[in-house]
Amino acid sequence: MTQTATQTDSTRAPALPDAATVTEVRHWTDRLFSFKVERPRSLRFRSGEFVMIGLLGDNGKPLLRAYSIASPSWADELEFYSIKVQDGPLTSRLQHIQPGDQIILRPKPVGTLVHDALLPGKRIWFFATGTGIAPFASLIRDPQTYEDYEQVYLTHTCRDVAELDYGRELVESLKDDPLIGEMVGDKLTYYPTTTREESPRMGRVTTLIENGTLFSELGIADFGPATDRAMVCGSLAFNMDMKAILEGAGLREGANSEPAEYVVEKAFVG
Ligand SMILES: Cc1cc2nc3c(=O)[nH]c(=O)nc-3n(C[C@H](O)[C@H](O)[C@H](O)COP(=O)(O)OP(=O)(O)OC[C@H]3O[C@@H](n4cnc5c(N)ncnc54)[C@H](O)[C@@H]3O)c2cc1C
Ligand SMILES: NC(=O)c1ccc[n+]([C@@H]2O[C@H](COP(=O)([O-])OP(=O)(O)OC[C@H]3O[C@@H](n4cnc5c(N)ncnc54)[C@H](OP(=O)(O)O)[C@@H]3O)[C@@H](O)[C@H]2O)c1
């Protein structure tokens, strides 16, 4: 018995620093997957924040990247929604994780896409492209979103229809969610668009704002700083274009230290 245990110990992979065990993996497309890990008991975060996660690199050092936590702050597990970059240092390997595997999770959540960075308002807008929906997957499951605002809008622009699946399925599941389904009620409006594959609503959301389609379809005539708050998460180009639109409408950028009417965070660098 003792000998067997000793042999097992000596062949076991070295323990990871800040290890978290994977409990579930789901592949959505050949470029996108989501996974859950056990939540360290001591980890506290605000819905919308991100953490550093990763794996041990070939050199034995942690290979870490920023990831938005896609689950809400009350959840027992931590969920992440990830790109698969075929030659990406981290995701070329991370995409192969299985339940039972361990990842590194640095327990220091930070970020600007948090309710604390916004002043009170009537409507909250979550504008996402691609994996930029991840922080909003957290926020649309946070009771505070529905306590603080009368209406909640989530827009998601992707190239292809299948890239919308993660968000669409999540939004649909909220109606029957035993914890927050009643709070969500009919307050949450989901506005998906595609740009390269045919779908019921086509075009960049920026174009649909600028040509008036978005607000006329949603019956909103008075978008502005008196009523509206916004959070933006996408590519650098998307964030820049959205900033110009929001500033043009009179909204000012906020921060944890100085709340205002909108906040922005990059979904990835490059
Ligand atoms: C604040 C913040 C939060 C982030 N949250 C997430 C998240 O929740 N989910 C996630 O998948 N990524 C997220 N990222 C990106 C993430 O940190 C990594 O870049 C990504 O995991 C790829 O890592 P890599 O080592 O494989 O490739 P990297 O060397 O990091 O990236 C290689 C190239 O792939 C492209 N790329 C990287 N990430 C993405 C992406 N998400 N979508 C489209 N193209 C991309 C870029 O062109 C980049 O230059 C976030 C980045 C930041 C700064
Ligand atoms: N998605 C794929 O199928 C795919 C496949 C292979 C490689 N890649 C590479 O992966 C990287 C990221 O691709 P991604 O699709 O995840 O992210 P992305 O290029 O940022 O595009 C995501 C969505 O955001 C839209 N968008 C981009 N810039 C915008 C802006 N300034 N304003 C408004 N909307 C904007 C895109 O519309 P447009 O379509 O109009 O740009 C697309 O619908 C790119 O380098 C790409 O070359 C992507």
**For residue 204, what pLDDT is reported?**
98
**For residue 14, what pLDDT is reported?**
52
Ligand 1 center to residue 215 CA distance, Å? 31
Which atom of ligand 1 is least distant from the CA of 135? 8
Backbone φ and ψ of 170, nearest 5°? -65, -50
Ligand 2 center to residue 265 CA distance, Å? 16
Which residues does ligand 2 sit against, CB inside 6 Å? 31, 129-130, 157-160, 195-196, 204, 206, 235, 237-238, 241
Report the alpha-carbon distance of residue 141 to residue 48 in Å, rounded. Answer: 10
**For residue 9, what pLDDT is reported?**
40
pTM above 0.75, yes or no: yes
Q: Is residue 82 within 6 Å of ligand 1 at its C-beta?
A: yes
**For residue 15, what pLDDT is reported?**
65
Give the residue whose CA is nearest to atom 46 of ligand 1: 270
Ligand 1 center to residue 267 CA distance, Å? 7
Give the residue whose CA is nearest to atom 26 of ligand 1: 88
Yes or no: say if 227 and 260 are a contact pair by the CB < 8 Å rule: no
**For residue 270, what pLDDT is reported?**
81
Q: What domains can you pick out in the chain, each with its CATH number?
A: 2-110 (2.40.30.10), 115-266 (3.40.50.80)
Return the residue matching tokens 């990842």: 103
Q: Is residue 136 within 6 Å of ligand 1 at its C-beta?
A: no
Give the residue whose CA is nearest to atom 37 of ligand 2: 195
Ligand 1 center to residue 56 CA distance, Å? 17
What is the mean pLDDT for each group of 10 consecutive residues in the chain (270 residues)? 36 70 98 97 96 94 97 97 97 98 97 98 98 98 98 98 98 94 96 98 98 98 98 98 98 97 96
| DSSP states of the chain | -HHHHHHHHHHSPPPPTTEEEEEEEEE-SSSEEEEEEEPPTT----TT-EEEEEEE-TTSSEEEEEEE--S-TT-SEEEEEEE--TT-TTHHHHTT--TT-EEEEEEEEE-S-SGGGB---SEEEEEEEGGGGHHHHHHTT-HHHHHH-SEEEEEEEESSGGGGHHHHHHHHHHTT-TTTHHHHTTTEEEEEEESSS--SSBS-HHHHHHTSHHHHHHT----STTTEEEEEEE-HHHHHHHHHHHHHTT--B--SSS-BSEEEEESS--
**For residue 198, what pLDDT is reported?**
98
**For residue 102, what pLDDT is reported?**
97
**For residue 167, what pLDDT is reported?**
98
Q: Is residue 270 within 6 Å of ligand 1 at its C-beta?
A: yes
What ligand is nearest to the CA atom of residue 29?
2
**For residue 8, what pLDDT is reported?**
38
Which atom of ligand 1 is least distant from the CA of 67? 5
Which residues, other chains included, contact 124 with Cβ-Cβ below 8 Å and sequence gap of 6+? 118, 145, 148, 149, 151, 152, 153, 228, 229, 230, 231
**For residue 16, what pLDDT is reported?**
74
**For residue 17, what pLDDT is reported?**
76
Which residues, other chains included, contact 90 with Cβ-Cβ below 8 Å and sequence gap of 6+? 54, 55, 63, 64, 65
- Ligand 2 pocket test: which of 195, 211, 214, 236 has the largest number of ligand atoms within 8 Å of its C-beta? 195
